[in-house]
Chain A
Amino acid sequence: MMDQSQDEFAIRVRDLVVGFGRQTVLDHLSLDVRRGEILGLVGASGGGKSVLMRTIIGLIPRQGGTIEVMGQPVGGRKEGAATTWGILFQQGALFSSLTVRQNVQFPLRENLELSQELMDEIAIAKLEMVGLRAQDADKYPAELSGGMTKRVALARALALDPPILFLDEPTSGLDPIAAGDFDALIKTLQKTLGLTVFMVTHDLASLTTVCDRVAALADGKIVAIGPMRELLQSEHPWVRAYFHGKRSQMLQHEMR
């Protein structure tokens, strides 16, 4: 039983409680992320989506509940975090004093012992895999456009080939073409590298095109989870409002 659940789920969250002061943000939340799937998480702004992600990766302390990542309970271990998961922060969070190449090499340099030559080749390989050119490697983060910043951040998140990738609003601030390209890129990489992707997003197009399942977070709980089609049928008032609002009408037509 235990072995099976380990194989099946990349992330298991049980009864998670997180709050700040008197305010409870996540209230006995449970969520399973299957191995090799792309899970999209939707929720109101300020509703705790990013809090959930940051709690799973250990940036925010939890008040109760358990979190298992790849069958291992999370908590207190910072060692080897980079080999377990890669994180794409909303603003990229590239180190501004390092070049693109050094940013991608940073996790390699800190976690592995390998020759400079191999490190350079791996960095360029990662950059090319996310659709950048070798010429971009010597630029500084300040010289990059929004889309390029996200790509470099993705390359850095993938530097150690982690099995799980967390994406915090990966397509926010990108134009529709760049956002579509980025979605396609994530899908391709997920297939090639066999990643499990946990994606916090507001982008209805990404939800429909790349996510295998979508989870809706409202009132501190997961109120609906399943493929996009199922979520569109959901009777929960918030989920209805989210997917049947004016902005979602067009996409909904496409789905039907």
Chain B
Amino acid sequence: MNSEPLLLATPSGDALKLRPEGPWTAANVSALETLSRSVGAEVDRSRVVTLDLSGVSALDTLGAWVLEKLSRRAASSGRSAEFVGVADHFSGLMDEVRQVNRHTPAPVAEQNPILLRLGDLGKSTVGSREDITIFLQMLGALSMAVIGVLRRPRSLRLTSLIYQLYRIGWQAIPIVALITFLIGAIIAQQGFFHFRRFGAESYTVDMVGILVLRELGVLIVAIMVAGRSGSAYTAELGSMKMREEIDALSTMGLDPVDVLILPRVAALVIALPILAFIGSIAALYGGGLVAQFYGDMGPAIYIARLHEAISVTHFEVGILKAPFMALVIGIVACSEGLRVKGSAESLGRQTTTSVVKSIFLVIVLDGLFAIFFASIGM
């Protein structure tokens, strides 16, 4: 028996006899395509085409379809084609294949690319209004939940709150401390390197102190928390949404905002200032180490310079921002989580959106605070 598929074409006048042989199966698909293409011109020339299947040793849907396609090509424009010698065990398959691909759906009209772009722009503009609405709705729902808790303090989910604090606060300390330590060290090194040229090395300490306490400490920590904990919130709530857990909660008469979202956001609001404080201290420590080993400035002088350069105001400016940033991260993460639809892809998309959006908003918020504190003279 043949191990390679063959297609023998015997033309006689107007008629053409095609005799496929061997295994017409998916495994030989490239050979099948070449064979059917090679007889294409002859099929188009002939008025009567006969397909003799008696030599076919194996046939599957793919092979049957290639043969059926040949016969349809032969039968087009008033000519005729027929199958002969179809073995019994192939006839069911051949009959089945004759039914398929009869209704080709109309191809989707190609849209104007410029209009498409404009359409997308319009959609995202409308979408951003929806984003703001959702943000405000979540803020409102959270405020209501907070009022509820203030009215009945026992309704606070303390266990959940403490668990979330442990996860996003305590467990985040090592990585937050490490990264802010490195950033403090890098800033100090850059300061010493560049300020040395005009003999202003001692001002490096001012730069490190003010920059870290006012801006960088809290900003870096907020961005890290958005990436680390915000994404976790979105993914958790999203998969709960997918598995209908949130619907189950609602039907039991519980408000998902009370049960799931308030403890999470509250934990963030409590943890972020603490993490920002730890981060700032780690950054100052990193700066101090660089001062000693790279800038030849002993710890005593470093601390004394720090003492002169910074005041409690700088610290306050930094740490006051932290709870607001936490609130923004929490609201964005939770509302994006609740927007997850059925598929795994949507979960991934919302998690990405959540991180990107919360980092963007954290930076915008930082800018607004900078203007605010400058204008009130802090």
Contacts and interface: CB of A to CB of B under 8 A. Distances in A.
Interface of A: 83, 96-97, 108, 111-115, 118, 121-122, 124-126, 128-129, 133-135, 137, 140-142, 158, 160-161, 191-194
B105 A135 contact: yes
Nearest to A118: B33
Contacts of A141: 343
A97 B345 contact: yes
B93 A124 contact: no
Contacts of B343: 96-97, 140-142
Contact of B62 (A122, A135, A137, A194): A122
B96 A129 contact: yes
A124 B344 contact: no
Q: Is the interface of A mostly helix, strand, loop or mixed?
A: helix
Given A118-B66, A161-B61, A128 B345 contact: no
Contacts of B344: 96-97
B65 interface: yes
B61 A193 contact: yes
Contacts of B89: 194
Contacts of B27: 83, 112
Given A122-B62, A125-B100, A134-B104, 9 more contacts: A124-B100, A125-B97, A125-B101, A128-B100, A129-B100, A134-B105, A161-B60, A161-B61, A161-B62
Nearest to A126: B61
A133 B101 CA distance: 9
A114 B100 contact: no
Interface in B97-125: 97, 99-101, 103-105
Interface in B19-50: 25-27, 29-30, 33
19 contacts: A96-B345, A97-B343, A108-B26, A112-B30, A113-B29, A115-B33, A118-B66, A121-B101, A126-B61, A128-B100, A129-B61, A141-B343, A142-B343, A160-B26, A192-B95, A192-B96, A193-B60, A193-B61, A194-B89
B43 to A, nearest CB: 16
A192 B99 contact: no
Contacts of A135: 105
B68 to A, nearest CB: 9
A96 B340 CA distance: 14
Nearest to A136: B105
A108 B29 CA distance: 10
A118 B29 contact: yes
A128 B344 CA distance: 27
Contacts of B29: 112-114, 118
B69 interface: yes
Contact of A128 (B26, B93, B95, B101): B101
B61 A125 contact: yes
B92 interface: yes
Contacts of B65: 118, 121-122, 125
Sorted nearest first, the 10 A-B pairs with minimum C-beta distance are A161-B60, A96-B343, A125-B100, A192-B92, A128-B100, A142-B343, A114-B29, A142-B342, A97-B345, A134-B105
B167 interface: no
B341 interface: yes
Contacts of A129: 61, 96, 100
Contacts of A192: 92-93, 95-96
A112 B62 CA distance: 11
Indicate the member of B92, B100, B103, B341 with the most A CB atoms within 10 Å.
B100
A121 B61 contact: no
A96 B349 CA distance: 13
Interface in B339-372: 341-346
Contacts of A114: 29-30, 33
B91 to A, nearest CB: 9
Nearest to B104: A134
A151 to B, nearest CB: 14
A125 B26 CA distance: 14
A134 B61 CA distance: 17
A21 B101 CA distance: 51
Contacts of B93: 192-193
Contacts of A134: 101, 103-105
B224 to A, nearest CB: 29
Contacts of B104: 134
A228 B345 CA distance: 43
A165 B238 CA distance: 34
Contacts of A158: 61
Contacts of A111: 26
A191 B25 contact: no
B101 A124 contact: yes
A24 B81 CA distance: 60
A161 B60 CA distance: 6
A222 to B, nearest CB: 30
A191 B92 contact: yes
A121 B104 CA distance: 10
B339 to A, nearest CB: 14
Contacts of A112: 26-27, 29-30
A37 B27 CA distance: 24
Contacts of A160: 26
A134 B101 CA distance: 8
Contacts of B100: 124-125, 128-129
A109 to B, nearest CB: 12
Nearest to B65: A125
B284 to A, nearest CB: 46
Interface in B45-102: 60-62, 65-66, 69, 89, 92-93, 95-97, 99-101
Contacts of A126: 61
Nearest to A112: B29
